[in-house]
Structure 1
Amino acid sequence: MPIKKAVLAAFVSFLILSCGNDDGPGFEVIPPRALSEVVIEDEAAIQEYLQTHFYNYEEFENPPADFDFRIKLDTIAGDNSGKRPLIDDVQSISIEVSSEDFELEDNETVTHTLYYLIAREGTGNTPTAADSTYIRYEGSLLTGVLFDGTGDYNWQYLPFFLRGYGQAITKFKAGSDIQVNPDGTTEITDSGIGVMFLPSGLAYFNGTPSGIPAYSPLIFKVSLGLYVEETDYDNDGIPSILEDLNGDGDVTNDNTDESEERRLRVPRLPNHIDPDDDGDGIPTRDEIIIDAQGNITFPDSDNDGIPDYLDIDS
């Protein structure tokens, strides 16, 4: 026993001495880069891609009999040296991104530009960035490496995906009727088809899901089939897009009762997925008025300028 105790004491002393070493763990923790630094690199990489690649626009302009209406991207070189570059076809959207969106502490707000191309305009209407869409997509890096995709159409609630992706989808029109192919897959008549190019600040930034390298611009080919107009995800009577209180097109950062949720240490729910937006115990649906035509009125019972459904004191 004395020998065992001596060995144990020596081992414990070794651990204490090791833990006291100021060198820390055997790896280096790299802090996130600044949005303003990365956005410059992303813009340059996307611009280079747009100037050196093309899509199969000739097939979309004059569809052959067996054309599957899928976008194909390729390099302008060799036999393709005379093709029209993507830069001549894309349109763009500018979006303000805050460093707080990625929990950065440098208090930056940086303008990011995403590019989109409409290869076939749909015949339906256009969804908002807070709608549920029936969509088929394929995601890749600028190198062409695929990281995600759906072989068939699937329902996708846009606020649950990337901000830039949702904003780009608002530029597409949906299709009309659903057709079931002989192999069981789905096709949408006259769906809106195109491709988008997102800087990392409108995608995963320093995140690395599904093997995507940090700070990667992304490409998404999309076919927008259908969507639920005025989607009300939490069924509180208010369409999700109307829960974008700060008007930035992003419903995920609008949370009226966040301070109360923090105090109670309960999950923090943005208004679009919270059936009680002000956290007063009264469901939002019971604090608004919806008439027979679906028009919504927002009572303010204490006349303080804040509608009841957002006022915990009402």
Structure 2
Amino acid sequence: MKFKNLLALLAVSMLFFSCGDDNNTVEDYDAAGQSLKDDVTLIEYLQTHYLNEDDGGIWTITNGETPLMDQVETQHITQDDVSYKLYYLKQEEGTTSSPSRADSVLVTYTGMLLDSTVFDARSTNIWFSLSGVIDGWSYGFTNFKAGTKVVNADESFYYENSGKGILFIPSGLAYRNVTQLSIPQDSPLVFQITLNDVNEADDDNDGILSKYEDLDNDGNVKNDDTDGDTIPNYLDVDDDNDGILTKDEDANNDGDPRNDDTDGDGIPDYLDTDN
């Protein structure tokens, strides 16, 4: 069967967003060891399942169908010194822009366990911030592009040529060893996704796009905290804690605080407590 059953979608949708970056795990969790186990499990799944082009579902191979393993690409990810492999199948690349890990995406999706249990699904468009979901999403969506928005005469709209594919996510880039309602601990996840639109986020409305607040250029905006106040810059309205809002440190009023350096020390004013 393609799907085993459909469970409590609304409740899990809320959990999927709010707990997306939850790294609270029980003690003695072996992230590196679990990553290796997950990769073996995912490879076995990809070798024994195929994409049914007739209905778009994932089915068990029974008659020599082309295995998913022959169609996927591999994204190598290192996080907290642990190596992961995220597999993705690109059915349609999309036509416009790819999101960064700090942007927001307009999507539809279906989330499944490897036994085909559907734990979450959304058939109508919904926005998610990629800085607030599981890491498998924030990495995986960067491999796709959004579609083209078509506006009708009555101002209704739709998207065409959107990015479409499947993410095969190890548990270390999902919920790790923490049970989430219908998702058991240490569960690799499968998401069939459609990426319709991308919004370049400015999460703290300080005039600097969140993706540009990744000062160490490691792709992760959550570990950049200039003033050490435990609020990462992309959520901090006063990045240098000098009492002046970042958006008000735009001395030349061009809308970009990043190019204002009043004292010429090479540090832009919004990051400089002594300007």
Give the TM interval when normalised to the shorter protein. Answer: 0.7 to 0.9
Structure 1, residues 216-265: CA drift from partner, whole Å, max 9, x if none?
1111111001111x32121111111111122221212222223xx3xxxx
Structure 1, residues 29-70: CA drift from partner, whole Å, max 9, x if none?
9624121111110110111111111112x45xxxxxxxxxx7
Structure 1, residues 167-199: CA drift from partner, whole Å, max 9, x if none?
11111111112579xxxx985222111000111
Q: Is the 8 A contact 2:104 2:128 kept in 1?
A: yes
Cα shift at 1:296: 5.8
Q: How does 1:1-314 map to 2 (within 5 A)?
A: 31-56=27-52, 58-59=53-54, 71-77=56-62, 81-98=63-80, 109-177=81-149, 187-228=158-199, 230-258=200-228, 261=229, 268-288=230-250, 297-314=258-275
Q: Which amino acid aligns with 2:78?
A: E
CA gap of 1:87–1:276, structure 2 versus 1, over 3 A, is same
**DSSP 3-state at the match of 1:161:** coil
Cα shift at 1:149: 2.1
Q: Which amino acid aligns with 2:211?
A: I
Tell me how far apart the structure 2 counterparts of residues 32 and 162 of structure 1 sit (CA, whole Å): 21
- Identify which range, 202-211 or 85-94, moves more after superposition: 202-211
Q: Is the 8 A contact 1:97 1:201 kept in 2?
A: no
Identical positions, percent: 42
Q: Which amino acid aligns with 1:275?
A: V
Cα shift at 1:88: 1.0
**DSSP 3-state at the match of 1:227:** strand
**DSSP 3-state at the match of 1:195:** strand
CA gap of 1:186–1:148, structure 2 versus 1, over 3 A, is farther
CA gap of 1:295–1:257, structure 2 versus 1, over 3 A, is closer
Cα shift at 1:111: 1.2
Q: Is the 8 A contact 1:118 1:195 kept in 2?
A: yes
| Higher RCO (CA 8 Å, separation ≥ 6 residues) | 2
**DSSP 3-state at the match of 2:95:** coil
Tell me how far apart the structure 2 counterparts of residues 212 and 251 of structure 1 sit (CA, whole Å): 27
Tell me how far apart the structure 2 counterparts of residues 187 and 54 of structure 1 sit (CA, whole Å): 29
Tell me how far apart the structure 1 counterparts of residues 103 and 223 of structure 2 sit (CA, whole Å): 16
Q: TM-score, normalised by structure 1?
A: 0.72
Greater CA radius of gyration, 1 or 2? 1
For structure 2, the 5+ residue unaligned runs are: 1-24
Tell me how far apart the structure 1 counterparts of residues 44 and 91 of structure 2 sit (CA, whole Å): 20
Tell me how far apart the structure 2 counterparts of residues 290 and 168 of structure 1 sit (CA, whole Å): 38
Tell me how far apart the structure 2 counterparts of residues 50 and 290 of structure 1 sit (CA, whole Å): 55
Q: Which amino acid aligns with 1:167?
A: Y
Number of corresponding residues? 248
Structure 1, residues 254-311: CA drift from partner, whole Å, max 9, x if none?
22223xx3xxxxxx4221122111222211112245765x666433444554332223
Q: Is the 8 A contact 1:287 1:298 kept in 2?
A: no
Tell me how far apart the structure 1 counterparts of residues 177 and 217 of structure 2 sit (CA, whole Å): 26
**DSSP 3-state at the match of 1:233:** coil
Q: Which amino acid aligns with 1:307?
A: P
Tell me how far apart the structure 2 counterparts of residues 132 and 290 of structure 1 sit (CA, whole Å): 29
Q: Is the 8 A contact 1:32 1:206 kept in 2?
A: no
- Identify which range, 231-240 or 205-214, moves more after superposition: 205-214
Tell me how far apart the structure 2 counterparts of residues 232 and 137 of structure 1 sit (CA, whole Å): 24
Structure 1, residues 94-149: CA drift from partner, whole Å, max 9, x if none?
11111xxxxxxxxxx11111111111222222121111111111111111112222
